Homo-oligomer: A and B are copies of this chain.
Amino acid sequence: MKFGGTSMATPDRIRRVAALIAAEAAAGKKLAVVVSAMAGKTNELVAWADVLGPSAQGVGSVDDEADVVVASGEQVTSGLLAIALRSQGLRARSWMGWQIPILTDDSHGRARIVDIPGEKLGAAIDTGEIAIVPGFQGVTSDGRITTLGRGGSDTSAVAVAAALKAACDIYTDVDGVYTTDPRIEPKARRMPKISYEEMLEMASLGAKVLQTRSVELAMAHRVPVRVLSSFVETLAGPDEGTLICDEDEIVEKRIVSGVAMSRDEAKITLFGVPDRIGVTADVFMRLADAKLNIDMIVQSNARQADRTNLIFTVGRRDAAAAEKLMRDAQDAIGFEEIRVDQDVCKVSVVGVGMKSHAGVARTMFEALAEKGISLQAISTSEIKISVLIHQDYAELAVRALHGAYGLDAAA
């Protein structure tokens, strides 16, 4: 079981989480529980570390010590939850990252889990004791505290489940994964099941239910992950939430499982790029060297015959860096003009059923054309089709596609 910062925000909420755990324990389950810090606490700790951080040049990294500071947030909640469980008459104890240990590499602030020896933890759980594990934190092989980066507690939970060969229930502030954002399309439905691959695409496309890395880890270790609402008082039934699992376990496959939308996009157009071999490669090598991730790419005819227009998208926060990089290389690349558009968004349909069905793209383009929405770029993967459109049409496009693929809930 994993509980996020909202669930752990106050002693009262921690007591409610303890009651939920007690119900699972009463059902005869052996349990490990991964917890986040109190909501807001991590930000406070990071702010303190930042304000004291190096302003002078030539000072080495302070990320290792920032980890010491920030990891304390989950230490507090895991101790408090153990206390709350004992108050309800249950056996429980906390296990810090260094006690288990949750071994990571030494990339402080964004460490990756290397190994979790599950023996000690598993032996304690086998005696009927509930193990409370602080999320987000680990320890290097030479005993320094690390943290996994934002959202790392989901990754901790999946990794601990993998080490214990257990399933993982992630309690969060939504009651599952939806066919699309219910705030945009009220007819969105909760999916009872979704495959790891689909969830990865949904997560990377802006459906912020789970951290992408945690889904990758679950897929690699075949950990069944269930997303559940923590705003319930009673035990979750088997049909609640959304189970993220192997494609094989999903009997009723839909061609399209969900519609995702992301506003974190910027479109950069290079006008009048000389139409010679290697120029496109040159542009994208420069961007790659600067660690700027390119998503969609379109080449279109320019006004002159020997020139072309090159369109690509980057994350919105990378737009300024990409623009500067291009302007600095304008002479070398030889383009005539650059334009950056931030008023775009990306809408995607995702589904493992696409692999075996033709006509998925056609349905998409027709549905969008019918609403008068023009496509600025298109990209596809085996289980996903994405289009770049003007952001004013974002919600309209999501609703149109949700209906076109038969995802609307029955009225």
Contacts and interface: CB of A to CB of B under 8 A. Distances in A.
Contacts of A78: 68
B11 A52 contact: yes
Given A59-B87, A98-B98, A79 B143 contact: no
A56 B93 contact: no
Interface string A39-59: 000000100110111111011
Number of copies: 2
Interface in A57-72: 58-60, 62, 64-69, 71-72
A79 B73 CA distance: 13
A145 B78 CA distance: 13
A260 interface: no
27 contacts: A11-B48, A11-B51, A15-B52, A45-B76, A49-B80, A52-B80, A52-B83, A53-B83, A54-B86, A56-B87, A56-B88, A59-B89, A60-B86, A62-B82, A62-B83, A64-B93, A65-B82, A65-B93, A66-B83, A68-B82, A68-B96, A69-B75, A69-B79, A69-B80, A72-B72, A75-B75, A96-B145
Interface of A: 11, 14-15, 45, 48-49, 51-56, 58-60, 62, 64-69, 71-73, 75-76, 78-80, 82-84, 86-89, 93-94, 96, 98-99, 143, 145
Nearest to A18: B52
Contacts of A62: 82-83, 86-87
Name which of A59, A82, A83 has the most chain B CB atoms within 10 A of its CB.
A83
Contacts of A84: 52
Contact of A65 (B69, B71, B73, B94): B94
B65 A86 contact: yes
A99 B65 contact: no
Contacts of A48: 11, 76, 80
A8 to B, nearest CB: 11
B55 A87 contact: yes
Given A76-B45, A89-B59, A96-B145, A69 B83 contact: yes
A382 B172 CA distance: 66
A99 B59 contact: no
B56 A79 contact: no
Nearest to A145: B96
A6 to B, nearest CB: 17
A53 B99 CA distance: 23
